[in-house]
Amino acid sequence: MNKDYQNIKVIGFDADDTLWVNETYFRDAESEFAKLLNRFETENKIDQELFKMEMKNLPVYGYGVKGFVLSMVEMALELSNNTVSNTTISKILDIGKDMINKPVELLDGVEEVLAELSKNYKLIVATKGDLLDQERKLEKSGLLDYFHHIEVLSDKKEDNYSKLLKRLDIEPEAFLMVGNSLKSDILPLINIKAHAIHVPFHTTWAHEQVKEMDTNGKDYKTLNSLLELPKLLN
């Protein structure tokens, strides 16, 4: 085993865009919303203003589809100077319901990798978002049996991870986090002396993007695919 990972006992996985497709659905929803409101502003401007609204509302609504829908409704009211029709509001709600009802599309090799790693490690899910929605996706994914613990966090900062590891009695040096977001899945773990492996997804939410200077000197590996993980650890 690679000496960097010889003490690993528990592997944590992010869920959205690490185990299954998620961000693609948000991008599609943003495009649909912009088209719905394009009589009030250009679609590019609507996209920018919606992102600002989401950032303003994050401390209130948290992450996930429901908060996103509320931000769309608020943005529609603002763009239209409170003249948006009930029909349009109904269509916005339908965008959200469609997102929630999307099938769970596993990324390549996910089940194969979990089956292999579960032979030698305890596996957990550490994700953020709406609790009900994440529970639904986990249930639909067919992956629940691979995990010893599921944690839906309100955020993914150093303190959130430290509390989680303490509660589960896991030493940081024995924990490896795997995820697609440098901001949420990688850097906080490095900062608390745990391990992290970055598996990028082709689309990254602007809020999760980091500057190159933020990653300079940080000790983590990047893989092209989750399928590379078992070989790295063995």
Considering the domain architecture, whether residues 37 and 85 belong to the same structural domain is answered as: yes
Which of 100, 132, 154 terminates a domain? The answer is 100
Render pLDDT for 7-51 as a digit per residue (tens, 0 to 9): 999 999 999 999 999 989 999 999 999 999 999 999 999 999 999
Considering the domain architecture, whether residues 116 and 181 belong to the same structural domain is answered as: yes
CB–CB of 194/34 below 8 Å?
no
* Buried b or exposed e, range 91-125, using 16+ CB within 10 angstroms: ebeebbeebbebebebbeebeebbebbeeebbbbb
> Residue 9's pLDDT is what?
96
Considering the domain architecture, whether residues 90 and 163 belong to the same structural domain is answered as: no
Total number of domains in the chain: 2
Look at residue 126 and give its three-state secondary structure. strand
Rounded mean pLDDT, 205-228: 74
> Residue 89's pLDDT is what?
97
Give the domain CATH number at 31.
1.10.150.240
Considering the domain architecture, whether residues 141 and 221 belong to the same structural domain is answered as: yes
Altogether, the residues listed in the chain come to a count of 234
Considering the domain architecture, whether residues 84 and 128 belong to the same structural domain is answered as: no
The domain in which residue 27 lies consists of 23-100
Sheet holding 221-222, edge to edge: 149-153, 122-128, 10-13, 175-179, 195-198, 221-222
Task: Please report which confidence band the pLDDT of residue 126 belongs to, taking 50, 70 and 90 as the band edges.
Answer: very high
Which of 100, 120, 136 terminates a domain? The answer is 100
Encoding tokens for residue 165?
Answer: 């590891």
The span from the CA of 57 to the CA of 29, in Å, is 18
The span from the CA of 200 to the CA of 97, in Å, is 27
Considering the domain architecture, whether residues 122 and 221 belong to the same structural domain is answered as: yes
Report the 10 Å Cβ neighbour count for 40. 16
Most confident residue range from 1-15, 41-55, 215-229: 41-55
Look at residue 178 and give its three-state secondary structure. strand
Considering the domain architecture, whether residues 109 and 199 belong to the same structural domain is answered as: yes
Cα–Cα distances (Å) from 207 to 35, 51, 227, in that order, read 22, 9, 27
- Block residue for tokens 């948290």: 62
Task: Please report which confidence band the pLDDT of residue 213 belongs to, taking 50, 70 and 90 as the band edges.
Answer: low
Cα–Cα distances (Å) from 45 to 33, 75, 215, in that order, read 12, 12, 30
Task: Please report which confidence band the pLDDT of residue 217 belongs to, taking 50, 70 and 90 as the band edges.
Answer: low
Lowest mean pLDDT among 10-19, 185-194, 206-215: 206-215
The span from the CA of 17 to the CA of 119, in Å, is 24
Render pLDDT for 158-175 as a digit per residue (tens, 0 to 9): 999 999 999 999 999 999
Bridge partner list, 196? 177
Considering the domain architecture, whether residues 200 and 112 belong to the same structural domain is answered as: yes
Considering the domain architecture, whether residues 85 and 113 belong to the same structural domain is answered as: no
Task: Please report which confidence band the pLDDT of residue 113 belongs to, taking 50, 70 and 90 as the band edges.
Answer: very high
Strands (E), the chain: 10-13, 122-128, 149-153, 175-179, 195-198, 221-222
pTM over 0.95: no
Which of 76, 100, 124 terminates a domain? The answer is 100
Task: Please report which confidence band the pLDDT of residue 1 belongs to, taking 50, 70 and 90 as the band edges.
Answer: very low
> Residue 209's pLDDT is what?
63
Instruction: Provide the mean pLDDT of the chain.
Output: 91
Considering the domain architecture, whether residues 120 and 226 belong to the same structural domain is answered as: yes
> Residue 231's pLDDT is what?
93
